[in-house]
Structure 1
């Protein structure tokens, strides 16, 4: 596919119209007048526990093996549902009363995930940096993060190259295309549109794997301790066989996840006009719920941490799994915060008694 093709123009149009339309609608919706105040004392400790568990999990395990489920069924893998490092980092940065360890937290997150082979660590840090404006921690956190975020943004091509090599060897001649493909929403939006236009899309496989019935079944398996339905890889792994003509069997034993963007997903279901309308409605609804319920930590952190993945759109199974991790991690954090507050209060009382 080349730039200038009709599918590329449609992909650009879908993304731009949907986002600008959402911004326009949001201007007429209720707004959060006051910045969100921090209210927790021990979120950094919780983050340290989470990042250490993640480090222990990836130690001696390749990133591809992790993605393909090499650690599934282990105790640490189970604990990571309750101690998700990304969610823990967001709670710390947005809601911690004392954020003097911001630089340490950012460095630990970026370096650990990059050394493990993740190519999205700096993207998430950049998103959280941009999201800080909604929180009272914004001024202090941005001062501490500004230089380090700038440095890692400049160094991100090298980090991307390293993380890609951790997964498998990569030719320098194609690294530029891989970087553009990883961050660009244009190509990813255009690939399905091009397949529909050329009539090369495997419609039967798409309906089978991306159909609501299958996504609900796989979502239930994802969040349930038992697999009530037949296990399968996530629908997004069938992206290449559906839209690029790859062999369906090629994805069974190898992680080949690929996204398409939310407007493109709605485009496949309807058409250009309604895909924009549905995307604008869906994103505006998320914003409205977030504004009305952002005193609820589950909603507050859930939307902030998962919005980028909603816009990318891999499949609903991944998104439901993401919100499920938010639910479990926020619940565990509240338990840890309450426990540490009790210990702190007891320590203060003992000191006061000894002074009397």
Structure 2
């Protein structure tokens, strides 16, 4: 997708005269012009390239992240883990059809993504051998650090993702972006040292608030301010509003798959905005026992997405349980969004919900059924 380590892998394999085919996936990380420039630079380099539009698949998984509240440490959205699932689930079958026998990726050795690619590949396309270049001493000798990678990428004229370079890395898709750098890994570094990919800081947002209405049906978003039900469209609209109004940031210390902890900074303007509305719908529609179960299953699904276990039986069973809870959950929420804050303005709930209205009647009328 244009990341530094992935391009370095391509250069290394080219230098070894290994026959390769490069798959560039559009998962909403950049506009089409940027991806076309990447493809052109790879072809000029002599690579065989296939550009695959996976935005619909990425948006569908983003919808699942919200529906199942599949978040990780500190409540951040599993957008990077979700992207790895989409890439393997969609590209591995295509690679198999194209006659490929090896799946090579650019993920660093020993990291979360190495395990995600391994687990999903074993489940989706077990006949493909997974090549992990950064566990190979020859690759490490050729590229001992990011400076060496950058030099080679620049020398060969390859188009580098705008968020990736020697000093920093941004892994982005339609659902959000993760930011890394040596500076940001230091817990003493203020988060304001970050350069967001899409979003404004709250103090940079417009002076006036804006309202946005989000509609849910059967536990899924079906419209964001007239976007229509296509997840690509409503995700783009939510991202636009959240980014403009500074609703996007999670700065966390996360517990990683390999047992270490590491600071992570996550930019997910659309999901952060939608979560405010989804929380109100859940509060209004689920009873206490249902909400407790939903939260437990959501935590399990957050861990499953983070660890690359989304296709395993436990995760499937957890999704089945949430699906039953959300069978008839729906309604609309209007938010007032301003400088990092999304405040609920109005709510309409679908279906029969017992809502207490005793206060104004002196306790004589205890409830009514709230409907749209």
TM-score, with length taken from structure 2 = 0.28
Q: Which has the larger share of helix?
A: 1
Larger relative contact order (Cα-Cα within 8 Å, sequence gap ≥ 6): 1
Q: Which has the larger share of strand?
A: 2
